[in-house]
Amino acid sequence: MYFDFVENLHQMEQSEQWEAVRKLLRERWLSQKDNLGALIRLASECWLILTDWECSINNEGLDYELFKRDLIATCSYGLEHFGDDEKILCLFGYMMSLFPYLFYLNDDPDGKEYLAYESKGHSLLEKAYRNYSNVLLVQVFFLGSISHPTKYQEAKYRETRAALKPFLSALFPGDTAIEEYFKDVLGLNSPY
């Protein structure tokens, strides 16, 4: 299981109480800073809200910078204190490699920050793969992040993703937005 259960979180998401969700998860993490589950829950919730900001999130009255600062704070703390943990490497590597601009605050007119954080995300996934190569989710995230995969890597990705599919409900048993996101992206609701 990748995410701690938080009572009423799904209901809060359904009623689009995004700021209340952020505050609840932030207070939960700050009250138990070394609770990896609380850290990952806050980080992933902020990441998902930020990625859907202009798409499906009703962001009226929300402060983009607060969500981004919480994501950056959890990432920094997580890497500093749990930098070798499978979940930290896997999830932050995944999130950072897809949306690098969410992990820095300053302007980036020449794109150097973007490229640096994209590379860091790939490095985290690579480290996860080296250290936890027997974990199916790590394999899928790493193999799926390769820019120009070989035919072998493509085949291995498809094979590993198919092997992971029966375990998705156990890894992401809840019905919160981030758990549904991963079940969809990883294929539980997909024929692939």
Q: How far apart are CA 22 and CA 14, in angstroms?
A: 14
Q: Are 160 and 143 in contact (CB under 8 A)?
A: yes
Q: Structurally, how many domains does the chain consist of?
A: 1
Domain membership of residue 113 (yes or no) is yes
Domain membership of residue 126 (yes or no) is yes
Task: Convert 75-84 to b/e letters by CB count within 10 Å (16 or more is b).
Answer: bebbbeebee
Position 98 scores a pLDDT of 96
Position 18 scores a pLDDT of 96
Domain membership of residue 127 (yes or no) is yes
Rounded to two decimals, the pTM is: 0.93
Q: CATH code at 165?
A: 1.25.40
Query: Which range marks the domain in which residue 97 is found?
Result: 9-185
**Section 114-140 average pLDDT:** 97
- The per-residue pLDDT of the chain, averaged, comes to 94
Selection from 183, 152, 179, 185 nearest residue 168 by Cα: 183
Q: What digits encode the pLDDT tens for the residues 68-80?
A: 999 999 999 999 9
Helices (H) and strands (E) counted in the chain, each on its own, are 11, 0
